[in-house]
Each structure stands twice: as C-alpha cells, then as structure tokens.
Amino acid sequence: MKKLVMVGLLVQGITTHLTAQDSTSPKIPFSDIETNWQNGSDRRDSSVFHGVYFVPSVMVDVNYTHSFNKPIDNTVVGSTALARNNEVQLSHLSVGGDFTYQNARARLMMQFGTRSIVVPRNDVSPYRGQYQLANVYRYLSEAYVGYHFNKWYGINVDAGLFMSYIGLNSYYQVENWEYQASYTSDNTPWFFNGIRLQIFPTKHLKIEPWLINGWQSYGRFNKQPGLGANITWNPTSNFKILTNDYYGADAGGLPGRKRFHSDNSLLLRYYNNPKSKGISRMALSLTGDIGFEKGDGVNGFKSNDKKGPAQYFMSSMIYNRIWFAQNKLAWTIGGGIMNNPGRYLVLYPTGQASPLPDPNNPTQTEGKYPFSANPGDQFKAWDCSTNLDFMPNQSLLFRVEYVHRHANVPYFAGKGGVTSPNGYTTTPLPDDWRPDLVKSEDRIIFALLFRL
C-alpha cells in the first residue's frame, strides 16, 4: 500500500507539490538540495503543517517606509513593493495553501493589502472587453489546478493564475534578500495567467514551458498568446543557474508589435559554516536581462527613420549576502541598473502623473498631467541598497533597509507629491499646479515579515 506524502519543492520562490511514495524517494527532484539560503526561495527548513490533502500557508508583510523627499500625499512612485510613505502599511496578507488528492493538485493563495492594488494597476489588458478583470483577479496571487504524472522525476500540468519567475526575486517578500527590488525585478512580471508544464527529466533539472495570456496580463492584448519557458539547473546546494525567456504581442491594438525578453540568473553560495557564531554563510545573486519590442512604430535595438525609434530593455542587478550568528542575522548589499528607451516596461507614476487609463473614463488618462511613455522617450536608472535582517526563527524576520534610487528624468515623488497642492484627492487642481516628480529618492524601510 503506497503512502501519499506531500513534498514541498522550492524552485525560484514557487512551492510545487509532488506525490511520491515517501519523503526519501529518489524520484523527488531537488530533494538533496539545500534551498533555504537562496534569494527568492522559502527559507524555512520545514513546515509546521503536515496535512495529507491540504497544507495551509499564511504570510504577512507589514512595512513602514520613510522617504527623505517627504511627499505631501505620502504616495510612493515607481515601486510594486511599496505604496505609502511615512505610514505603517499592511503591504501583503496571503492566506491559502496547497490541495492534493492522489495525483490531482491545486494551489490557492488569496492576497490582501496594498499590493492587491499596486500590482494589478500595471496590467491594462482588462480595458479590452468587459467584466473588469482587474477586480475579478485582484485578491488572488495564485490560483491554479493541475495534475502530476509519475514520469522521470515528475511532470506537472497546471492551469490558472501562477507566479512568474522573471527577475529571480519572489513575489513574496519573506523569500527575498532585499525588500525594494531593483528595476530588473520590479519592472518585469510578477504573475502569469495561462497554462504551464513543469518537466523534471533529472533530479537537478527543471524545464517549464508556458502558454499564457501575456506579459503580466490577466487578459490578452491581441490575437497571439504569450509563449515562454523557464529552465532551472540546480546541481548542488551551492550553485543554481536559470533562464526565463518570453515572446508575445503585448501592446494593445498593435498586433504587429512583438516583444522578446530574456532573464538570466546565477546564485552562488561560496561559504557555509552554519554552526559558526561569527560568519555562518555567504552568497551572491546575479541577474541580467535583455529584451526588445519591434514592429508597429518601434525597431528593437536600433532606431530607423522608417521603422521607428529603438525600443529595448537592458538591466542587471547584483546582491551579496552574509549571514552571522548561526544564520540568525544577515547583511545584504547590492543594486542594479536599467536602460529602457521607450519606457515600455517602466512602472508608471500614479495620481495626476499617471498615463494609465482612468477607470471611470478609460478614454482619458488617469492623470491630468501624465508621465510621457512614448517610443523614443529615454529612461535610464540605477539603484543601490543595503539591509540588516534579524531572524529569531524560520517564520519571523525583522528588516531595516536603506535604498537610493536615481533616474535620468524626473520620476520619483518629490515634496509636492502627485495628487494635489495639499495631497488630498478631494482638492481641486489650480491651473498652475503640476505633479512634483524628481530624479532621485532616498528612503529607509522597516519591515516585519511572517510566514507559516
């Protein structure tokens, strides 16, 4: 009589559950790999829940961020991790878990807090057609069903809403080395809506094709779906390399404009002495992205008088992390750069600087003075950050982080904010008022992260 056991497999911040004969089965991929040090992965050694058919999960993310720009309306611009300055915020509350019965599988994670507003607003696919898709999906971070095939080291077929992998970082902050992600992660997808196939041909290799609606989009912009794949190779507990590649048509009403994006990451743990009261381990995380759009008025990496201006994305980020005191303390330092002429993947400012459609009147922009995002508009930016983590146990993390970000054009919220002269949406706008966007910002983030 076979015993049914749920095994948590951590691959790039996504928990995949497999069915196996027992917890020591050689057919469980990555079962001999220590992943709790990896950026974008669950840092727990074990789960407190051991259900046969359902394993629950709870994550809480509370932050306070102080902006030295002190915008009058407390609004954060250009981040999917933060929403409000100088206030205690419930950024993310996730409640759900994983269901299995024999080889059938499903995962449901509800999401509440400011991220349930901040992240969906960057998807304009719901403006095609009816039924307010942004509201329908807003409170779901993951919701999919699937089936596990006992072939090689496992094959999973899943359909629904699932996390993307681009940018290495996890959508869940409790899994990341840094809180405010660099542009490589923050300006690329956090979720996909469609179908994925996870193939584990060997114990240390995963190949995962996608057929999805589009680039972080609930709906589909044109006739063509998005295509992509993740390949992850994790041969030892000290080394991991992966690539994520995507192709689609993601400009609404411009079916001839095609997008390609390649994201590539490496993780290296170069020191490990977990019992040390001094330095207990050290690791490096490196990510590089390159992509472009071409057709219908833009021309990829090179401007052309007839085909249009260049429209591409190049970025990288690097972080180094050192653990101390038997992994109870950790210090991370790093940053990144981005070059995005055309601004086609830049997170748009909010409020009166937003160029997104007005939900109440989609034929007009949300902001009266929208941030320009036309082909040929240059956007270059860089950032750096450092933080200190205290981890008294595997479920709780206290973080303090300092972040500096800079852009070549006014982009971040300045003292005047992006809402109105006094910061309230109820205040009429004088003719001489404009959103206060500036080229740089400095902030300190305090975060309390919890997971069971």
Does residue 60 have a pLDDT over 50? yes
Which tokens belong to 333?
């330092």
Q: What is the pTM of this model?
A: 0.89
pLDDT tens figures, 259-277: 999 999 999 999 999 889 8
Does residue 10 have a pLDDT over 60? no
d(CA 449, CA 253): 41
Identity of the amino acid at 450: F
pLDDT of residue 16: 42
d(CA 128, CA 110): 25
Identity of the amino acid at 316: S
Instruction: Assess contact for 91 and 63: CB atoms under 8 A.
Output: yes
Does residue 21 have a pLDDT over 70? no
d(CA 375, CA 294): 11
Identity of the amino acid at 423: G
Does residue 182 have a pLDDT over 50? yes
pLDDT confidence bin for 168, thresholds 50/70/90: confident
